Structure 1
Amino acid sequence: MLLFPFILACSQGKYHINGILNNDYNGKYVKLFQFQGDTLITSIDSAKVQKGKFSFKGKANVDEFAIVTIGKYPYVKSVEVVLEEGDIRVYMDTAFVASGTYLNDLHNSLTSEINRLYKLYYDFVEKKDTIERNKAHDNYQKFIYNVTIENRLNLVGRRFIADNKSAIWPLENLVKLHEKLETLQRNNSLVTQADIKEFQEYWDKNAELEKEQAGTVNSQYFDFVLQDTLGIQRPISEYVGKSRLLFIDFWASWCSPCRADIPHIKEVYEKYKDRGLSVLAISLDNKRTAWKSALKKLKMPWGQLIEVNGTDSDLAKAYQINGVPYGILLDSKGTIIAVGLRAQSLEDVLLKEGLK
């Protein structure tokens, strides 16, 4: 309730945006749009860029985020901004951020902190440090919980929970947050019974999928004819049986976790390639251009194939692939001996298989 006077005051005041852009945009127009829910409505205002600067003025509105944008797709620069009372600085040059007022600064700090906490957690996952990983995960969860409670009445808090509630697990934590919000504000719309039901259905479905994937272990691999980087048709069988073990990495250029895991797969490959490990990457990209562009940057030293029908392909259905990254390990006879692998779990399996 203490936030209401602040929000009311902002809604009655004026905002003043001072923006900075590259001089290359001089003479062009920056546009300011307002959102209503998830729908973009008409432009509120436009401003001409002069000497790398632009400005907007108007009545404050802290009900929905706005966006400052310039350029045409796919060469668009944009920054989200809360049209809050006061002087707002919008940077669209080397940085892309709105700052200078309470809610805009809060939005930046929450985004920065949640990213820091997640990276810390993921680093301990990579290091296989279970104790520190669990501590980092607890801190990550507590941060989401506390931010939600403290900022439930403002725009930034509502956006934060919308963006991060899917990261709350196990189910008990989401239920706890729902109950707390219900106590503070009956029939809250941030974490609802529908969210809890959706969470439960997701994990039930995920558990069923993992069971189906595990069911392929000890069975023969599924052979498909795919395209290589030259457009030549090659069967998966061409790569099977050439080494003691073959790791098949299903990935896609648009998948950030896939790309983040590839350097670690490289480390495992370099460590075990002379002990009987080979790797084959199968992309589920729909566009060969995006795939080839990613290959140039990632420089993977192993075979590359693409399934241009992506996650809707017969290959994805055969291997029970619901999402990427997803890796499987075959022995020299083509028998699937492990599924659901990434770099860390791959090395664990290799050690169990005696590749020391």
Structure 2
Amino acid sequence: MKRISFTFVLLLALAAKQGYSQTGFTINGNVTGATEGQKVYLRAEDNPGKIQDSTMVKNGTFEFKGNVAYPQFYTIVFGKQPKQRFGSAIPLFVENKKISVSAPLDSNATELELNYTGGYPYDKVKVKGSATHELFVKYINGYEPLKKQNSTAFDAYIKYLNPGKDKQKGPIAEGIKLVEAIDATKAVLLGYVSNFIKQNNANPVALYVARKNIGTFTASEIDQTLASLSPELKASAGGKSLIEKAAVVKKTAVGSKFVDFAFNDKDGNPVKLSDHVGKGKYTLLEFWASWCGPCRADIPHLKEAYELYHPAGFEVISISMDDDKAKWLKAIADEQMSWLQVSDLKAFTGDFSKIYNFNGIPTCVLIGPEGEIITRNMRGLWMDKKLIELYGNKFGAKF
């Protein structure tokens, strides 16, 4: 008699707990605004670049059939039509059931809103037959209002930074109150996310939520999140994928020790982070590039903060994500930055951005005296707030 693996038993237990069938799924779609013969694609969340299946719209309808090992998040994407910048998209959780989907393909229901900018009209998408999707909608209905509060707080901060033509920014103290409001609304949002995961720790929706938010958690929060998930969920393919991603993110999450890395300075001399970081001082790692407009715009403020706080022990290392040495050196000369400048000149093709878990710049990480990561948001008024907390107010009348 063959032995049944422990993982297989756990997966069966998960399927049973979810009331799950292994007979496969059928998705019947009914859409308004689609073109006859328009291509329709089915994509898995854990592999967004891969097309799982494709079909065409016929008489305003389409159909997909297949099988999933456990309930998973998918996106139905419609081929772009003339004058469309982004293809329309429908998110749903797929399980091995008969599922019906109806939605209007208007200009708001696009991949852009779903994946990047927010504001996706979830209320316009009607899904029947997937209990997992119902839980996902319940999560979204709680998440979106909290996200809107955070966005509103951030909009107030942007208005502070850009008061309008011929108007001066308010005092630093006013800006600090605004970033504190952003942080407060974000804490409520992440608290909701964490509680949802814990309260639904045996449901695949918890995997989706954890995967989407794992990059915002501290090292201890990552451990707590993984510990809260059921053994069956962690044994699934999605659970294993989450655990692998969490291990990568945790290496440079707040609360972890910095990860060492080798560069060259602007004169071509070899430099390691450990030569300068964790030496009893607070050190800002500023990730930037010569081609990055927002990075360059932040430099005058960073120079002011450095001049005020460097005598008290504040250090800065600028790590360029350039791949063109001449452009990098010219930008250093133009900006006249007096602190250490390093780069591996591999931009985002190297390992550094993967290790430090970022895909956009500017990104600013503060390292503590013992080499611990204090914050991954050391920009703008957040930087001013932290410097004042650490060293006192040195901004004088600007405060």
SS of the equivalent of 1:100 reads: strand
1:353 alignment partner AA:
F
* Structure 2 match to 1:293: none
Counting strand residues as a fraction of each chain, which structure ranks higher? Answer: 1
Residues 83 and 2 of structure 1, relative CA distance in 2, 3 Å threshold:
closer
**How far, CA to CA, are the matches of 2:194 and 2:380 in structure 1?**
31
The alignment status of 1:55 with 2:61, answered yes or no, reads yes
Letter in structure 2 aligned against 1:157 = A
Matched, 1:353 2:395: yes
Find the residue that maps to 1:93 and give its secondary structure: coil
Aligned partner of 2:212 in structure 1 is: 163
Tell me how far 1:344 sits from its aligned partner: 1.1
Secondary structure of the corresponding residue to residue 28 of structure 2: strand
Paired residues, number: 268
Question: What are the superposed Cα offsets for residues 187-232 of structure 1, whole Å, 9 maximum, x if unpaired?
Answer: 56637765564344224236996995899x9xxxxxxxxxxxxxxx
1:46 corresponds to 2:56: yes
Aligned to 1:205: 258
Query: Following the alignment from structure 2 to structure 1, what is the Cα–Cα distance between the partners of residues 346 and 64?
Result: 54
Structure 1 pair 144/67, CA: closer, same or farther in 2 (3 Å)?
A: same
In structure 1, runs of 5+ residues without a counterpart are: 218-247, 273-282, 287-302, 305-310, 328-339
Structure 2 portions without partners, runs of 5+: 1-12, 110-121, 158-174, 262-272, 305-319, 324-333, 336-342, 365-376
Root-mean-square deviation (CA, aligned residues, Å) is 5.6
In structure 2, the CA distance between the partners of 1:32 and 1:180, relative to structure 1 (3 Å rule), is same
Three-state SS of the structure 1 residue aligned to 2:396 is coil
When residues 249 and 114 of structure 1 are mapped into structure 2, their CA distance, relative to the original with a 3 A threshold, is same
1:162-241 to structure 2, matched below 5 A, reads 162-169=211-218, 171-181=219-229, 187=235, 190=239, 197-202=247-252, 203-205=256-258, 212=276
Matches within 5 A, 1:1-356: 4=16, 7-8=19-20, 14-21=26-33, 26-35=35-44, 37-38=46-47, 40-41=50-51, 43-48=53-58, 54-59=60-65, 61=67, 63=70, 64=72, 65-71=74-80, 75-79=85-89, 80-83=91-94, 85-96=98-109, 98-101=125-128, 102-111=131-140, 113-114=142-143, 116-118=145-147, 120=149, 123=153, 126=157, 128-129=176-177, 136-169=185-218, 171-181=219-229, 187=235, 190=239, 197-202=247-252, 203-205=256-258, 212=276, 250=288, 313=345, 324-325=361-362, 342-345=379-382, 352-356=394-398
Counterpart secondary structure, 2:229: helix
- Cα 1:20–1:355 shift into 2, 3 Å: farther
Structure 1 residue 175: deviation in Å? 1.8
Q: Could you tell me how far 1:18 is from its partner in structure 2?
A: 1.0
